[in-house]
Structure 1
């Protein structure tokens, strides 16, 4: 079953949901701003994305720029910051089994379905 980590206020995230619906794909939705996302969940997602934690951070967010931009942070610290401030997590994230993509552009989803 496909899972999408979704922020309904984000146009790219809404585009991800529409994309899956248009393709007739069943999926679970995780509204990660409403539900607590744990360090463990983020670590597992990053592993499936096969990326560095910083690649999942929305570095243009004011919160990041004002508080973290110029700091030297470990991967674990970055993951903890995202868990405590989920608005910093890039979206949408689509997971299919042990594979995941950040749906920007949305066509990237085709690589895992």
Structure 2
């Protein structure tokens, strides 16, 4: 089953959700702002995305700029920052089995879920 890590206040995330709804595929919506992933869950998502944790951080968020921007953080510290402040997690994320994609490009998401 597909999963979408969704932020309803984000236009890209809402568009991705509409795409999933129109796909007629079963999926689970995870509202990660109200139900943040655990360290293990976020680490697994990052592995499925095949990226470094920093690539999942929304670096223009005020929280990042004020608290983390000029610090030298290791991967664990970056993941802990995203767990503490889930708004820092790039969205939406679509998970399909052992793979995941950041769903900002709907054409790529469409190919990914097919």
Deviation at 1:64, TM superposition (A): 0.5
Q: For the Cα contact (< 8 Å) 1:102–1:108, is it kept in 2? A: no
Structure 2 partner of 1:3: 3
**Structure 2: runs of 5+ lacking an equivalent:** none
2:7 is the alignment partner of 1:13: no
- Aligned-residue CA RMSD in angstroms? 0.9
Q: TM-score, normalised by structure 1?
A: 0.96
**Structure 1: runs of 5+ lacking an equivalent:** none
Bigger drift between 61-70 and 45-54 goes to 61-70
Structure 1 partner of 2:40: 40
Deviation at 1:111, TM superposition (A): 3.8
Q: TM-score, normalised by structure 2?
A: 0.95
SS at match of 2:32: coil
Structure 1 runs of 4+ off > 4 angstroms?
A: none
Deviation at 1:108, TM superposition (A): 1.9
Q: How many residues align?
A: 113
Structure 1 partner of 2:68: 68
Q: For the Cα contact (< 8 Å) 2:13–2:104, is it kept in 1? A: no
